[in-house]
């Protein structure tokens, strides 16, 4: 399968598959975000999810895929560092702000800088129509965040720092999107990169989460937390794996923009799962996000 994926990279068939993978990643990432923000402390949720997908990836990385080439180890070190920063900023933002406010800001900041990063690193150039699509999509994302900020009644006293942390998270999103795309293109077998990514990325946060758990005055029951971790681990592998394969097959910037339709799914999840209201204004803003993604795809 690795040979087939490499062979269709840069072809119309690869572009079609990349689009489908980016949209799948969008939906799954919204579910992943809601799992991390939901019932348990975000740090504990992130730690148990990372432990789950790290354990899933370990036998694949160690025994099933070809081992990474020597030049990949410094790339993996940089990858781990960027993802630690991303997770730390994300957890801090989730702890301080409502999901439907901070999530759109995180995801809205990311694609703009990812497009710029893809231009600098890979020489990718967006057409004027694609830039118009980016503008429409970002207007919907940030409009949704602004509307939620004006109307939300949960944790308003910590919303300002939460929003700044969400912007920082978005910068890390752009950094890991472009850097991971560089990494998956630097190895012969994309599944080698994916397996070692999840294996190495699943090491750090569980240690931090365990330390936090032991210091809690009233720690949560482990059973539901482990269940959340198992489900989240599977979703994370499918979500992050899909977007990284999409960046291997086609333009990094385009995949990054399409993934941010996750904001639409996040608003629906916030309404259905977290009890957060979705009215006609939010529906219109979500329509802008979807329209922007369609314009970007049409301009490709």
pLDDT digits (tens, 9 = 90+) for 82-113: 999 998 898 888 878 777 677 777 777 777 77
Measured distance CA(31)–CA(34) in Å, rounded: 5
Task: Report yes or no on 19 lying in a domain.
Answer: yes
Stretch 269-279: mean pLDDT: 66
Closest-CA residue to 207 (of 103, 80, 93, 98): 80
Measured distance CA(50)–CA(42) in Å, rounded: 12
Statement: residue 237 has pLDDT above 80: yes
Q: What pLDDT sits at residue 70? A: 94
Task: Report yes or no on 261 lying in a domain.
Answer: no
Provide the pLDDT confidence category of residue 63 given band limits of 50, 70 and 90.
very high
> Is the C-alpha dihedral spanning 105, 117, 9, 248 positive or negative?
negative
Q: What pLDDT sits at residue 102? A: 79
Task: Report yes or no on 243 lying in a domain.
Answer: yes
- Domain of residue 162: give its range: 2-125+155-252
Stretch 121-147: mean pLDDT: 80
Q: What pLDDT sits at residue 202? A: 92
Could you count the other beta carbons within 10 Å of the beta carbon of residue 214?
A: 8
Statement: residue 140 has pLDDT above 90: no
Q: What pLDDT sits at residue 200? A: 95
Which range is least confidently modeled, 33-37, 133-137, 181-185, 231-235? 33-37
Q: What pLDDT sits at residue 276? A: 64
Q: What pLDDT sits at residue 154? A: 59
Provide the pLDDT confidence category of residue 260 given band limits of 50, 70 and 90.
confident
Statement: residue 38 has pLDDT above 60: no
Mean pLDDT score of the chain, rounded to an integer?
Answer: 82
Task: Report yes or no on 298 lying in a domain.
Answer: no
**Residue for token digits 């068939």?**
13
Task: Report yes or no on 23 lying in a domain.
Answer: yes
- How many structural domains comprise the chain? 1
Q: What pLDDT sits at residue 152? A: 66
Prediction pTM value: 0.80
Task: Report yes or no on 17 lying in a domain.
Answer: yes
Statement: residue 37 has pLDDT above 70: no
Statement: residue 228 has pLDDT above 60: yes
Task: Report yes or no on 291 lying in a domain.
Answer: no
Helical pair 72-96 and 99-122, crossing angle rounded to 10 deg: 160
Q: Which segments of 38-127 does DSSP mark as H helices, in order?
A: 42-59, 72-96, 99-122
Task: Report yes or no on 284 lying in a domain.
Answer: no
Angle at 150 between CA 148 and CA 151, to 5 degrees: 65
């Amino acid at each position: 399968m690795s040979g087939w994926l490499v062979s269709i990279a840069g072809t119309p068939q690869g572009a079609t598959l990349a689009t489908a993978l980016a949209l799948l990643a969008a939906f799954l990432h919204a579910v992943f975000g809601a799992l991390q923000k939901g019932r348990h402390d975000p740090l504990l949720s992130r730690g148990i999810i990372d432990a789950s997908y790290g354990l899933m990836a370990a036998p694949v990385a160690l025994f099933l895929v070809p081992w990474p080439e020597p030049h990949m180890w410094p790339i993996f070190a940089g990858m781990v560092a960027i993802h630690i920063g991303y997770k730390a900023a994300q957890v801090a933002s989730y702890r301080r702000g409502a999901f439907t406010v901070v999530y759109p800001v995180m995801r809205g900041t990311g694609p703009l800088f990812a497009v710029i990063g893809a231009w600098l690193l890979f020489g990718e150039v967006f057409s004027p129509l694609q830039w118009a699509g980016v503008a429409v999509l970002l207007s919907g994302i940030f409009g949704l965040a602004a509307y939620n900020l004006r109307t939300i009644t949960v944790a308003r006293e910590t919303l300002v720092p939460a929003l700044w942390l969400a912007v920082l998270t978005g910068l890390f999103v752009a950094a890991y999107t472009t850097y991971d795309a560089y990494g998956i293109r630097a190895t012969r077998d994309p599944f080698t990169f994916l397996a070692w990514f999840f294996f190495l990325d699943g090491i750090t946060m569980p240690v931090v989460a365990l330390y936090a758990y032991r210091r809690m005055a009233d720690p949560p029951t482990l059973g539901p937390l482990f269940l959340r971790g198992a489900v989240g681990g599977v979703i994370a592998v499918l979500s992050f794996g899909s977007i990284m394969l999409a960046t291997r097959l086609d333009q990094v910037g385009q995949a990054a923009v399409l993934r941010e339709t996750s904001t639409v799914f996040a608003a629906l999840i916030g309404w259905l799962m977290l009890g957060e209201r979705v009215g006609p204004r939010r529906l219109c803003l979500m329509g802008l996000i979807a329209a922007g993604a369609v314009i970007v795809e049409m301009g490709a």
